A = this chain, B = another copy of it.
Amino acid sequence: MDVRELLEGVKNQSVNIEEAEQYLKELPYQNLGFCRLDHHRALRNGFGEVIYCEGKATEHLVKIYQSFQARRENVLGTRASQEQYQAVKAAVPEVLYDSLGRTLKLQYEKPQLTGEVAVCTAGTSDIPVAEEAAQTAEFFGTYVNRIYDVGVAGIHRLLEKTEEIRRANCVVAIAGMEGALGSVVAGLVERPVIAVPTSVGYGANLHGISALLTMLNSCAEGLAVVNIDNGFGAGYMAAQINRLGVEGGRR
């Protein structure tokens, strides 16, 4: 029922004033709530919700997964620990855990993977963050091409993959230590690059601040940055961009 229908209901007295008043009182927030749902529906519908597991009490997490199980809805948990997985699994046996990317997934219906996002890492130690990004993008229906261990200190490894990387609608470039991968990749492709600094390294890497600064100061065009180790954030935004490429947007 939209506002006009309501008003006509009031006019023809099929809706009484108290009901209408209550409805209208909540309208702005319902609208906002609706928008939010609509927003989520656009990206998530058929895919499910996302839960940030780190720091959540285990009993709360179990309840959350049980509520999704009850509705047979998909849910993606990020930064889930092995212990959280064990506890959830005991209650919800169909839950799937990836110990590398630390995702904890209920997926009653698998999305068709479309488009293409390339997820690249500089080293092997960056792979956990990359898996969080890749699995997030896949959860939202994105086809992901994983291209790992192509750091700039051995530039030929990256160059060999240039054609593959260029094919993607969006590239996620993940690197710790000096964090230079993003700049080199952005110089090679014409699609947007999301750079993820990782905390891999020691000493003057300052727990990832060094790689973060590198990426923010990139002189390459077409690069934006997310928080240190934030694979989820990069995977989510890559899925948004990929969707634009797959479905088209406003012309």
Contact = CB atoms under 8 A, between A and B. Distances in A.
A123 interface: yes
A208 interface: yes
The interface centre, meaning the residue of A155, A159, A203 with most chain B CB atoms within 10 A of its CB, is A203
Contacts of A250: 115-116, 167-169, 245-246
A21 interface: yes
Interface string A1-31: 0011001101101000100110011011101
A42 B4 CA distance: 35
A183 B151 CA distance: 10
Interface stretch (A89-97, A102-110, A224-232): A224-232
Contacts of A219: 122-123, 151, 153, 177-178
B204 A217 contact: yes
Nearest to A200: B55
Contact of A155 (B11, B32, B191, B211): B32
Which of A27, A208, A213, A219 counts the most B-chain CB atoms under 10 A from its CB? A219
B213 A209 contact: yes
B4 A218 contact: no
Given A20-B7, A249-B191, A249-B244, A32 B156 contact: yes
Of the listed residues A25, A191, A212, A247, the one surrounded by the most CB atoms of chain B closer than 10 A to its CB is A191
Contact of A222 (B180, B209, B230, B237): B237
A77 interface: no
A43 interface: yes
A179 interface: yes
B29 A214 contact: no
B213 A249 contact: no
A147 interface: no
Nearest to A221: B236
A125 interface: yes
20 contacts: A7-B17, A10-B10, A36-B188, A115-B251, A151-B219, A167-B250, A169-B244, A177-B217, A178-B217, A178-B218, A192-B240, A202-B228, A204-B217, A209-B213, A210-B214, A212-B216, A225-B225, A244-B245, A245-B248, A247-B248
